[in-house]
A and B are shown apart, each in its own frame.
Chain A
Amino acid sequence: MSIEIQDVHKSFGSLEVVKGVTMTVEKGEVVSVIGGSGSGKSTLLMCINGLEPINSGRILVDGTDVHARGTDLNKLRRKIGIVFQQWNAFPHLTVLENVMLAPRKVLGKSKAEAEAIAVEKLSHVGLAEKLNVYPSRLSGGQQQRMAIARALAMSPDYMLFDEVTSALDPQLVGEVLDTMRLLSAEGMTMICVTHEIAFAREVSNRVAFFHKGRIHEIGPPAQVIGNPQQPETVAFLKSVL
């Protein structure tokens, strides 16, 4: 049970953004990915659940080749939750309906079952009071927690977080990070692309430093953040800390 990324290359037109990345994330692990803008971190996450095709290499999720012909991506995505920088609430649905949608339509749950799941997940992220309001009435932090609940409602084995606090007002960052801490404490396997270095240091088993489409350094936070070896890592940490 793992996500294996093997020598993945990804280009947009002539611009190569991921240049041969190899790493494995074991079940139960929390890996934070840090690095400057445009270093290919977010793109790699999109490749993991097949939202973006890759140019070469392989990504295996529990042994299934994500980009192989014949892979049922809709099925595979059930076990990979992803939360984006922009929370992407479905504006025409209430908070409860946002979370119920995928269990109903993708997993074929009954309305009552889906509602029970949604209520549980929303309570888990602290939104039990907001079930019947529309997302536009929520703060950014609340919308982002709703997006996390929406992903959790599919009972994924893996959660991918793509800079989920970057678009939030500073005072709202804490509540979202708390939710992520909770998940990691429960043993969720997570890959977090993040600029929150303190958070990465605290919750991660390993930290990967991305620079210009490559992993320059990967290891326990005490090593990568506490005692970086590469000059690029040192420069990056200096710029954000």
Chain B
Amino acid sequence: MFSSLFETTFSLNDLWFMLKGAGVTLALTGWAVLGGTLLGVAFGVVRAVAPWWVNAPLGAVLDVFRSIPLLIQLVLANSFKTIVGIHWSPFTVGCVVLALYMSAYCTEIVRSGFLAVPATTRRAARSLGLSYRQDLTEIVFPIALRVALPSWIGLTLGVMKDTAMVWWIGVVELLRSSQVIVTRIQEPLFVLSIAGLIYFLMSFPIARLGARLEKRWREND
């Protein structure tokens, strides 16, 4: 293990180290997207249907998350955690901050998808005897999903790349692990190219899946 400290070329061990970092990136992305989407759907629906006195404060809080750079949010959250004495690992802090950050954007995507469903279509559903809840589950959500999906895919890909910033609070993800290797072998172009390739390979399937769903749905329009 220690011998690798004196290696000055890129070894399989290094690749493995980067892949482990990529695993952390994927895990961060997974938790952030899961949490961010669940919160985003909940907040988005509330934003679409709630009266102004619920809507305005919620909107203001989410605006804070959208307006402050993610890096600052991460550092502040990490310090705040220490101040109030919550014993979370940097990974957990990263997941929570990224999830909140994503939820702020996801809320607006969900809200606009929800509001894109014409009132007349919903009225037709209710006129058939569907309850408010059935109108939501059978009509509004499926239509809103089709409207919101492209933006959601874009957001997810963005969050995957934004996970690189948790490096600042001490999580060794793909970019940080690449940086470690760069420091040792002094080949930034080469190492970062590999990191870029790994990011691409992780993003590409999501982008493809989105494009495929979009195409399938568009055929019905």
Contact = CB atoms under 8 A, between A and B. Distances in A.
Given A91-B220, A92-B220, A136-B221, A74 B130 contact: yes
Interface of B: 118, 120-121, 123-131, 134, 138-139, 142-143, 146, 217, 220-221
Interface in A49-64: 49, 51
A88 B142 contact: no
Contacts of A74: 129-131
Contacts of A77: 126-129
A51 B220 contact: no
A161 interface: no
Interface stretch (A15-23, A101-109, A228-236): A101-109
A177 to B, nearest CB: 20
Interface of A: 49, 51, 74-75, 77-78, 80-82, 84, 86, 88, 90-92, 101-102, 105-106, 134, 136, 147, 150-151, 154
Q: Is the interface of B mostly helix, strand, loop or mixed?
A: helix
B124 A84 contact: yes
Contacts of B139: 90
Given A88-B118, A88-B121, A82 B127 contact: yes
A78 B220 contact: no
A49 B127 contact: yes
* Most-contacted residue by chain A among B127, B130, B131, B217 (CB, 10 A): B127
A154 B220 contact: no
A150 B121 CA distance: 13
Nearest to B119: A88
B66 to A, nearest CB: 30
Q: Is the interface of A mostly helix, strand, loop or mixed?
A: mixed
B220 A84 contact: no
Contacts of B125: 90
Which 8 A-B pairs have CB atoms at the shortest separation, nearest pair first? A88-B124, A102-B128, A134-B220, A106-B129, A77-B129, A82-B127, A78-B129, A92-B142
Contacts, number: 63
Given A84-B120, A134-B220, A147-B124, A91 B143 contact: yes
A173 to B, nearest CB: 20
7 contacts: A75-B129, A90-B138, A105-B138, A134-B221, A147-B124, A150-B128, A154-B128
Nearest to A90: B139
B215 to A, nearest CB: 14
Contact of A102 (B129, B142, B220): B129
B63 to A, nearest CB: 31
B175 to A, nearest CB: 40
A81 B217 CA distance: 29
Given A101-B128, A151-B128, 8 more contacts: A74-B131, A78-B129, A88-B121, A88-B123, A88-B124, A90-B121, A90-B124, A105-B138
Contacts of B121: 88, 90-91
Nearest to B122: A88
Contacts of A81: 127
Contacts of B143: 90-92
A51 B127 contact: yes
Contact of A136 (B130, B146, B220): B220
Contacts of A105: 130, 134, 138
A81 B129 CA distance: 9
A136 B218 CA distance: 10
A81 B126 CA distance: 11
A154 B124 contact: no
A95 B126 CA distance: 18
A80 B126 CA distance: 11
A86 B124 CA distance: 10
A89 to B, nearest CB: 8
